[in-house]
Amino acid sequence: MDILTITLLTFVASLVGTVSGFGISTILVSTLVLALPLSTTLLLVAVIHLCNDVWKMTLFQSGANWKIILSFGVPGIFSSFVGAAIFLNLPTPLLVRTLGMFLAAYALFLFVKPSFRVSATIGSAMAGGAVSGFLAGLIGISGGLRAAFLSAFNLPKAVYLFTAGAIAFGIDITRIGTYLAGNIRIEQPLLAGLLLFIPSSFIGARLGEKIVTKIPQTHFRFVIAGFLLLVAIKLVIWPQ
């Protein structure tokens, strides 16, 4: 998979992810893992996702709910380390199949319960942080689950975006550090490609923000759910 292809994919993932409500990592991980080693995919996407976290906190720094950030983020940071540490010590085919089964379950759940919401309690925030952090470290995907928990609190847009960015930032920093400590690296030319991937994801997000109110969100959610289900079947049956 060449640099220009990944750049375009990053743009599309950021655009569709913004409009549909899915995180950029959900689409990028499930696609790049078809062509790149899982370890490289997780680290590369984590770096791109980390930059998105910084942009959210910079653009919406006037809004923050520190009670939710701490109750969600602290368990998320710890469980992210645990998930990433487990990732470093499990056979790759098993991890790829785990990713496939998670994507399949997630996609099917979206078809059945597209408007799923959890109770708005601190306990729910802590549980959501722990589970989403663990999944982020283990398989690189947790944005949909984190959004499901955060949306229950009905936060204003600016507060929601900063809060989500701050939580994801702590989780991403933790798992990136754990991956690097486990000798996972982004080799050339992918490392140089970040100079294109990161701006591409930002442009996609900005464009997605402009059109999000013009396209029915449920249509995109079902399209992405179907896409994830097809990829999941491939990963479960053919993990290499």
Q: pLDDT tens-digit profile of 55-78?
A: 778 877 777 788 888 988 899 999
State CA 204 to chain mean position distance: 15
Domain ranges of the chain: 3-237
pLDDT of residue 186: 92
Q: What local confidence, expressed as pLDDT, does residue 206 receive?
A: 79
Residue 136's pLDDT band (boundaries 50, 70, 90)? confident
pLDDT averaged over every residue in the chain = 81
Determine the average pLDDT of the residues in 234-238. 73
Terminal alpha carbon distance of the chain: 15
Distance between CA atoms of residues 40 and 44, nearest Å: 6
Which one has a higher pLDDT value, 81 or 120? 81
Check if the beta carbon of residue 113 is closer than 8 Å to that of residue 58: no
C-alpha–C-alpha distance, residues 48 and 148, integer Å = 22
215/23: higher pLDDT = 23
**Band of the pLDDT at 238, cuts 50, 70, 90?**
low
The pLDDT score that the predictor gives to residue 7 is 94
Q: Specify the pLDDT at position 43.
A: 93
Query: Are the beta carbons of 146 and 118 closer than 8 angstroms?
Result: no
- pLDDT of amino acid 21: 55
How far apart are the C-alpha atoms of 102 and 100, rounded to whole Å? Answer: 5
Q: Inform me whether the pLDDT recorded for 47 exceeds 90.
A: yes
**What pTM did the predictor assign?**
0.81
Mean pLDDT value across residues 21-34:
79
Q: What does the block give as tokens for 197?
A: 């991937």
Residue 87: predicted pLDDT: 87
189-209 per-position pLDDT tens digit: 999 999 999 999 889 877 876
Cβ within 8 Å of residue 183, ≥6 positions away: none
Alpha helix positions (H), the chain: 3-20, 24-32, 38-59, 66-87, 92-112, 122-139, 143-150, 157-181, 190-211, 217-237
